Amino acid sequence: MAKFEKGILGGFSGKVGTVVGARWRGKNIMRSLPQRGDYTPSELQLQQRAKFKTVIQFLTPIQRIVGRFFGSEQGDKSPFNLATGYHLTEAVTPDGDGYVMDYPKVLISRVIYVD
């Protein structure tokens, strides 16, 4: 993956030939086209994808609130990334063949005090 500050035309988004331009964690990057492998995802991968989908579907409608009030940026992680990580590990539970949010454990905002 290449990183560039000011390309010939500046940052770009989308596919150009065999490269893809994007903005990732506040940086303009350029990478090769992704190669899709011929493999079947494992059961654990499918479970993780289902957990992630549940959390993202829950957080996306309140993204502006979470992004503003769920702590402060930590390095490359935005407040929304921090909220996603918290909910993946603490607030999502299995329910039959899928996953649901465990509402008593859900946090919409988080204040972190530093002494």
The pLDDT of residue 102: 95
φ, ψ of residue 82 to 5 degrees: the values are -65, -40
Predicted TM-score (pTM) of the model is: 0.69
Sheet holding 19-24, edge to edge: 2-3, 27-32, 19-24, 14-16
How does residue 113 score in pLDDT terms, banded at 50, 70 and 90? low
Sorted by where each begins, the domain ranges of the chain are 2-32, 43-105
Q: Which pLDDT tens digit goes with each residue over 17-60?
A: 788 887 777 777 878 887 877 889 999 999 999 999 999 999 99
Contacts of 13 (CB under 8 A, 6+ apart): 21, 22, 23
What pLDDT is recorded for position 8? Answer: 63
Banded model confidence at residue 96, pLDDT cuts 50, 70, 90: confident
pLDDT over threshold 70, residue 3: no
Mean pLDDT of 58-79: 85
pLDDT at 74: 77
- 108: amino acid identity, one letter: I
What's the rounded Cα separation, in Å, for the pair 104 and 19? 45
